Structure 1
Amino acid sequence: MGHITANTSGGPVVTADKPSGPWRDAWRAFRKNKMAMLGLSMILLFVLIALLAPVLSPYDYKAQELSNRLQPPSAAHWFGTDDLGRDILSRVLHGARISLWVGTFSVVGSIILGTLLGILAGFFGRWLDMIISRLFDILLAFPSILLAIAIVAILGPSLQNALLAIAIVNIPTYGRLVRAKVLSLKNEEYITAARAIGMKNSGILLHHIMPNSLTPIIVQGTLGIATAIIEAAALGFLGLGAQPPAPEWGKMLSDSRQFIATAPWTVMFPGLSIMFTVLAFNLMGDGLRDALDPRMKS
């Protein structure tokens, strides 16, 4: 709705207000955060690289040329070659696909299961809350990477099992976050009013509880992707993640660790790729937290 101001000639001038809303206001606040926009730009760049990896790669990432093994960066091989003569640039580009895929889908799985369990525990309480909370406590009693290693060791080393293990170990993070949010929401006046007019629990959950629980999930999920990428790289480094010849960044680091002194480029470029990807998600996650959390606003 517009508001009226006076111009220099004395007549009224109607100026239109900018459309407003919680998500629109959050986007405006996010855009003002330069570091958050930098993180978003970096993420979009990595996504573009992952999508166009077959086009951008100068060589087949699996092609071996032993006569060119451990060649330093040059015009022919911008990132050099590894111990099997494979082009590191091509492998790094294709590795973006694996890292983003594992990071994104493991977090999506954690969010779905964690949100479901957190809502059940927080909304219905009693014995259900006790069982689910104790389950979260048991999972949190183990260091996440050790629990992920144990799960992959049981299921067998593979990229899919690494994704599943990362999703499982992060369920309590989202479950406890959602449970705490639901506990604070279910006693609000509008929830009481919804009950008073006869709205069923399913309607309250879908129309009131879940929409108002999205903010912390979005923020934690964005930060969680960065953590998941590191965990996937750690499992790959230990040989429990992607298997050869898949160009997973952590596996590339593991395969090249013996050449750190003689051929440092073999570990430098995969390591930098992990660092910049994690940094990008952390920057964007911090920006989302500042934009979506009312307590962070002046």
Structure 2
Amino acid sequence: MAELARNTELQLDTKPKSPWLEAWVIFKRNRLALVGLGIVTFFVLLAIFAPLIAPYGINEQDLSKRLLPPSADNWFGTDDFGRDILSRVIHGARISLWVGFFSVLGSVIIGALLGLIAGYYGGLIDTIISRFFDILLAFPSILLAIAIVSILGPSLQNALIAIAVINIPNFGRLIRSRVLSVKQEEYILAANAIGMSDGRIIFHHVLPNSITPIIVQGTLAIATAIIEAAALGFLGLGAQAPTPEWGKMLADAKGYLVQAPGTLFFPGLAIMLTVLGFNLLGDGLRDALDPKMKQQ
């Protein structure tokens, strides 16, 4: 009986696991990845429940309390208009995550679509799309974003569009290289042989088997997008007053660094922690989902 029990347990242990379950097991072993997941979860919850958590309104002014240091009434102090910095930082999480997520989503959709077409069809189509990616990559990303926002006009929505555009080639080239590899697999060749349509092959076979690197790159790209949005806001090309966007808060506080350092420190800390969280999470996902990392 003991031998039978051991054999049964061995069979259960060697039973094939779901790839996603296996990735989750690997991910849980990475402590830094769990820290990143915790940070990201914290800021996401902060953004979702901002109106309930923030102690004051984001534009609630009291000039008699301007530039106060942290206190029991105002944990992060107040800005030059007497507004509570903690409340504005909390609501700023909603704006920064919104810009980061939707700009990356737009980049993924457009970049992945172009990369799929270029990698699958090749030839002249591949050449044209690849040269388009090269043109976008020829410009420093932040300068290209500034140029786009300058043409469209300073606003948070235009900053989102600019960030989405400058990240398109990153996802396009990534998915293109993956498609070039996947389309040589036997199941793709078999699908072509039986006359399956290109659209069905691309969206039912090629794309699902190319999605892993997009998940990893997308997570890391959100961190970059948050920094780019903050940079545009700092330059006055992103969110406009009185929107409590972290980059704009840094720009408004730069003249009070000595008098009230908290006005600059806390928005900067929020940016740093959010970016750190997404980078740690992205590194953990890469280690868990990349087959080469699994072998190591």
Indicate how the Cα distance of structure 1 residues 129 and 11 shifts in structure 2: closer, same or farther if over 3 A, else same.
closer
Match of 2:262 in 1: 265
Match of 2:20 in 1: 23
Q: Distance in 2 between matches of 1:264 and 1:147?
A: 32
Q: Distance in 1 between matches of 2:101 and 2:289?
A: 21
Match of 2:41 in 1: 44
Match of 2:124 in 1: 127
After superposition, give the CA deviation of every residue in 1:239-262 in whole Å (9 maximum; x if it has no partner). 111111110000000000011122
Match of 1:218 in 2: 215
Q: Distance in 2 between matches of 1:111 and 1:219?
A: 12
- Report deviation, 1:51: 1.0
Of the three residues 37, 40, 61, the one matched with 2:58 is 61
- Report deviation, 1:11: 5.0
Indicate how the Cα distance of structure 1 residues 11 and 126 shifts in structure 2: closer, same or farther if over 3 A, else same.
closer
- Report deviation, 1:198: 2.3
Q: Distance in 1 between matches of 2:262 and 2:124?
A: 56
Match of 1:254 in 2: 251
Q: Distance in 2 between matches of 1:191 and 1:90?
A: 53
- Report deviation, 1:19: 6.4
1:223-238 equivalence runs, <5 A: 223-238=220-235
What one-letter code is carried by the residue in structure 1 that aligns with 2:129? I
Match of 1:72 in 2: 69
What one-letter code is carried by the residue in structure 1 that aligns with 2:140? P
Higher helix share: 2
Q: Say what the alpha-carbon RMSD is for the aligned residues.
A: 1.2
% identical aligned pairs: 66
Of the three residues 277, 282, 287, the one matched with 1:280 is 277
- What TM-score comes out, normalization by structure 2 length? 0.96
Which runs of 5 or more residues in structure 2 are unaligned?
none
- What TM-score comes out, normalization by structure 1 length? 0.95
Indicate how the Cα distance of structure 1 residues 11 and 163 shifts in structure 2: closer, same or farther if over 3 A, else same.
closer
Structure 1 residues 11-20 or 31-40, which shifts more? Answer: 11-20
- The number of aligned residues is 291
Match of 1:154 in 2: 151
Match of 1:3 in 2: none
What one-letter code is carried by the residue in structure 1 that aligns with 2:169? P
2:204 paired with 1:207: yes
Q: Provide the secondary structure at the position in 2 that maps to 1:170.
A: helix
Indicate how the Cα distance of structure 1 residues 53 and 11 shifts in structure 2: closer, same or farther if over 3 A, else same.
closer
Indicate how the Cα distance of structure 1 residues 76 and 188 shifts in structure 2: closer, same or farther if over 3 A, else same.
same
Which runs of 5 or more residues in structure 1 are unaligned?
1-5
After superposition, give the CA deviation of every residue in 1:130-158 in whole Å (9 maximum; x if it has no partner). 11111101101111101101111111111
After superposition, give the CA deviation of every residue in 1:244-281 in whole Å (9 maximum; x if it has no partner). 11100000000000111221100000000000000000
Of the three residues 177, 184, 187, the one matched with 2:184 is 187
Indicate how the Cα distance of structure 1 residues 131 and 64 shifts in structure 2: closer, same or farther if over 3 A, else same.
same
What one-letter code is carried by the residue in structure 2 that aligns with 1:110? S
2:292 paired with 1:295: yes
Match of 2:80 in 1: 83
Q: Provide the secondary structure at the position in 2 that maps to 1:78.
A: coil
Q: Distance in 2 between matches of 1:79 and 1:133?
A: 48
- Report deviation, 1:197: 2.3
Structure 1 residues 201-210 or 176-185, which shifts more? Answer: 201-210
Q: Distance in 1 between matches of 2:73 and 2:286?
A: 43
- Report deviation, 1:52: 1.0
2:175 paired with 1:166: no
Q: Distance in 2 between matches of 1:178 and 1:86?
A: 46
Q: Distance in 1 between matches of 2:4 and 2:194?
A: 49
Match of 1:100 in 2: 97
